[in-house]
Structure 1
Amino acid sequence: MRGRMSDVERQGEPDGLMLFDGVCHLCDGTVRTVLAWDRHGPIRFTPIQSIYGRELALAHGLDPDTPESFLFFDHGRPLRKTAAIAALLRRLPAPWRWLAVIDGLPRGLTDMAYDWMAANRYRLWGRSDRCMVPTPEQGARFVLDRP
């Protein structure tokens, strides 16, 4: 399965791509929420457990076996934590994009809250034995191998 490529990706850099922990219920829920809020939008997804996801994680300093953050690629820039959330929110339709105001909050505090949630995500939300399987309609938004 391959998602649509942007001009940035044609130049070798991902764009609008969310690298997420596919066995994390919180992360899976986030992906499902983005899919529901932005049914036909440009945001695409790749689980860190895929070959492409592992490559991206390693290339950008994330341990694919114990990821402490997700990555969101915004015009080729890999973002983490609060910056990643804000960039992803900006690509959603209104009113959801308005939540990107979190980018104006003190980064130290928001990243600290993010770190706490990430460190406790399996305990608080649980985990699966395998990654979610997208529906046929969602399939075009998932990238499992190098574009």
Structure 2
Amino acid sequence: MNRLKVLAVLLVLAAAFAIIAYAVNDWRIRNVGVVKAVGVGVYWDSACTVPVTEIQWGNMSLGEAKNTMVYVRNNGNVNITLSINTTAWNPPEAADYLTLSWDWNPAAVLKPGEVAPLTFTLTKDLRIPAFQDFSFEIWVAGVSV
């Protein structure tokens, strides 16, 4: 009889932990940012050997910010600055809860063949998300100066 009571208590505890784990996971989100480059190359390494096609942000809690550093190379033959923006948010309301920023100085110039580090920061709002999984495109373009 004691074994049955212990088993019943363990089952109740397991169910409670499962519910808590589900609730906690519901407050977290998983993300991928697809990187599109125009006139530049975006790489994981300073030697520019491993191209970045997407950034896996992983799970994020409310209010959390995650940094990812990449390297940008000017693939053209003129001096450029970078234009960076995001598009194609899925679901569309994800753009209301997430902010992508970067540390690029808009006045900075990349010479032909030059490589520079660039850090993206994705920040999750403190509000309760209306979604769990999301994706968006990060466009990095070289603009001649």
TM-score by length of structure 2 reads 0.22
TM-score by length of structure 1 reads 0.22
Q: Which has the higher strand share?
A: 2
Return the index of the structure with the highest Cα Rg. 2
Q: Which has the higher helix share?
A: 1
